Amino acid sequence: MWSAPEVNPINRKARSVPLLNPINVYGRVFFFSWFGFMIAFLSWYAFPPLLSDVIAKDIHMSKTQVSNSNIVALVATLLVRLVAGPACDRFGPRYTFAGCLLVGAIPTFLSGTAYNVQQLYALRFFIGILGGAFVPCQVWTTGFFDKNIVGTANSLTAGLGNAGGGITYFVMPAVYKSLVKQGLSSHEAWRVSFVVPGILITSVAIALVLCCPDTPTGAWADRTQAAENNLRQHGIEGTVVEVPGTMTEHAKKADSDSTPSPPGGIEDEEKKLDQTRGTFNDNEV
């Protein structure tokens, strides 16, 4: 958990999760995957802890309207997740992740401007964009961890990230009560409280863009060429091409498709790696 992970030299994916090593590039990506997801969920669920007892009284909401606002908060997430997948394919999960956070930060900062039910509905709808952060979180994690550990890595980022929905029930009331103790009225305190998740979202979005790469081999746009270069370095003759839903090896053959694949392909190299399990330390640039 502390040391740099063993790295598969064929695809540059980590074979273990450096859970407590944010200095290592794989550790940083793992950290920002779950932490960014957690902050997104903390902010997405920031209204319910204050809604029934404080906000509803301030803007005169009925119980039905409170329930409806919770439903509205889920609608945008359903729509955003349909878009987030193709966006990850086109721009990469890192920028898609940051985009979800930054766009969701805008209505979060504006939460204190709601003075009636309709305005609250609109704000909660757009704050629901943050729920779409789940998609790039999982895509990003999958891209950095190898087949022997990717399930564990995804479960950890998803589990830790979802915890944000529970943590917000401690954070938001604490911020609100602190502001009230400092002399703000209830009307003012709940509105100012939403500045806190807004700052957290923005900070994490900027940090993950500045501190982490798109893929283990570099920029998202260069991933195919980087994969081909890496294969050549390991003596594998082939080209990597994109096909819907996966990446595959096209062996260079002069014969028909029925000709057996030459030895030394990706599968053979990975089998050798599994047998030797040599340690390849990550060299950060």
Q: Is the pLDDT of residue 237 over 60?
A: no
Exposure on the CB side of residue 250, measured as CA atoms within 13 A: 10
For 274, phi then psi, to 5°, come to -65, -30
For the chain, what are the domain ranges?
A: 25-218, 221-276
- Residue 236's pLDDT band (boundaries 50, 70, 90)? low
pLDDT of residue 3: 79
Distance set, CA 121 to CA 47, 101, 128, 182, 195 (Å): 11, 19, 11, 29, 19
Lowest mean pLDDT among 7-21, 117-131, 248-262: 248-262
- Residue 102's pLDDT band (boundaries 50, 70, 90)? very high
Q: What is the pLDDT of residues 14-38, one digit of tens each?
A: 999 998 888 899 999 999 999 999 9
pLDDT of residue 129: 96
Alpha carbons 15 and 34: distance in angstroms, whole number: 18
Q: Largest alpha-carbon pair distance within the chain? A: 81
- Can you list the pairs that 64-71 forms with residues at least 24 positions away whose Cβ atoms lie under 8 Å? 65/117, 68/121, 69/117, 69/120, 69/121, 69/124, 70/124
Distance set, CA 214 to CA 94, 102, 153, 282 (Å): 6, 18, 17, 16
pTM of the predicted protein model = 0.80
Q: What is the pLDDT of residues 126-165, one digit of tens each?
A: 999 999 999 999 999 999 999 999 999 999 999 999 999 9
Structure-token pair, residue 9: 């030299």
Domain 25-218 class? mainly alpha
